[in-house]
A and B are shown apart, each in its own frame.
Chain A
């Protein structure tokens, strides 16, 4: 890219052409290295996984027969896979809606107060800064049947100690509640940042005309926040879909697989049962589903905002 390359005697037109070529493609000089690494650490593993899913591969075996789509068929036939898919959808539906309502509510409320706003906001976002595994371990302690704070509190109300994480009827709900506790700040932060950018004029004229708060919310705030809401929902959905850490330390999928998520099930398939190919097939299926979900949500999003 030396500017004087073009003025060197001899082969002027060639060096000029080379110069033009490098000028036209100079963005690759900046972007290229990062793209190469991303190809190596994202695309290649996915291609590798797709390949593995078509053969029968374990960590120990040396012969690797081609089996076509057999691994996918086995996976879709497997009750544990279907159970963990169902559980994952349960997490997605309840964790996303729960954290959305809490986070959205907190974002609406915090605009109505002035004194102490900063400190309250800081406290409210603590959970999202914690490692999910720390959150899970902490709530294990809170929910401990013998000396956890929750049961101590229930005891004060005259309710006997509960093993909330060991009962099939309550374990899944508990894990979802903890997930909501950790992630509602994501919605809160996104919605609050979105609301800070809203123009004031429509609000002022609506207030002058005596429009009720509820109608202002329905007719002005909600429509203008649409893209922000979609981003919050999209991120919460993909995060809930891949839940692993919290469940791993709280229940490890139990009791009786009632809290097993897809990630946990695939992890176990590969590393406990040594069925690498089948887990690879499952993870490709998972990728397809999450890709489909986010593609649909993105399409809604692109109608509203320009990305990139």
Chain B
């Protein structure tokens, strides 16, 4: 596309201004994580200082946020694994078989993207509580309980994203394998999965981000045993005295894996965020 010089200069100016507005809070905030306590709140802000890791040491060890890190990892990885085990076959089923109601079911899956978390979070809390009172079976404050509830947003997303990858593959692939004597399951396992493997990885990582950043359901359903990193971040705000350096240390621990993943996943990001509606 040929763009007049004036238009291009203006485009650069506006885009760079926006990038600066994005970067200032992110960079300035992240710097605070490396500042020694005495200059956390100095104004004007100190830009040059000897970086220290003492905030990270404090939050992870003294405040035991490594436990929250561990919970976040268990819950995020666990819920993604379950979502993949259930969702990948379902996506394959939707991609390969036309049956009565298949279209309606897919649309229903999209509609799950619209449900506000409070609508499921509230009954989940009550259900877990009543279940525990009635049977002694505790799902409250367990990793499994949270992993189960996270399926409300992860499972539909996995199905929609993976269906896109399966649809792109010619059905002849499994069919010729089945002619050679594989069962459909065998063909799926030996022939199809190795080809869609990159799609599965992308889907898994993207869903990991959504589970990792989740706050609302964890706030309602997690307790001492399962509290996640986003919840730990909130504990550094106590009215009138905020431990900014510690807070940003936790923030940075939450942000880093996601930003690294995003660099590799930019293409899939759109697919995940739009639920594949755009295909």
What is A's interface to B at a CB cutoff of 8 Å?
Answer: 1, 26-31, 33-35, 37-38, 41-42, 45-46, 48-49, 52, 57, 59, 102, 105-106, 109-113, 116, 120-134, 137-142, 144, 146-149, 151-152, 181, 186, 189-190, 193-194, 203, 213, 227-228, 231, 235, 238, 241-242, 244-245, 248-249, 262-263, 266-267, 270-271, 276, 279-280, 283-284, 286-287, 290-291, 294, 301, 307-308
Contacts and interface: CB of A to CB of B under 8 A. Distances in A.
A157 to B, nearest CB: 13
B34 interface: no
B119 interface: yes
Given A38-B156, A129-B209, A134 B233 contact: yes
Nearest to B127: A48
29 contacts: A26-B184, A27-B97, A34-B155, A41-B151, A41-B152, A45-B123, A46-B120, A109-B15, A110-B11, A112-B3, A124-B15, A124-B22, A129-B209, A129-B262, A134-B213, A137-B237, A141-B25, A142-B29, A146-B41, A190-B274, A203-B1, A228-B278, A267-B118, A280-B122, A287-B115, A290-B114, A290-B115, A294-B111, A307-B277
B86 A37 contact: yes
Given A48-B126, A126-B26, A137 B117 contact: no
B87 to A, nearest CB: 6
Interface centre among B102, B106, B255 (most CB of A within 10 A): B255
A231 B242 CA distance: 39
Interface residues of A: mostly helix, strand, loop or mixed?
Answer: helix
Interface in B18-57: 18-19, 21-26, 28-29, 32, 41-45
B146 to A, nearest CB: 11
B230 A126 contact: no
Interface of B: 1, 3, 7-8, 11-12, 14-16, 18-19, 21-26, 28-29, 32, 41-45, 86-87, 89-90, 92-94, 96-97, 99, 102-103, 105-107, 109-120, 122-127, 129, 148-149, 151-152, 155-156, 159, 183-184, 209, 212-213, 215-216, 219-220, 230, 233-234, 237, 242, 244, 247-248, 251, 254-255, 258-259, 262-263, 266, 269-270, 273-275, 277-278
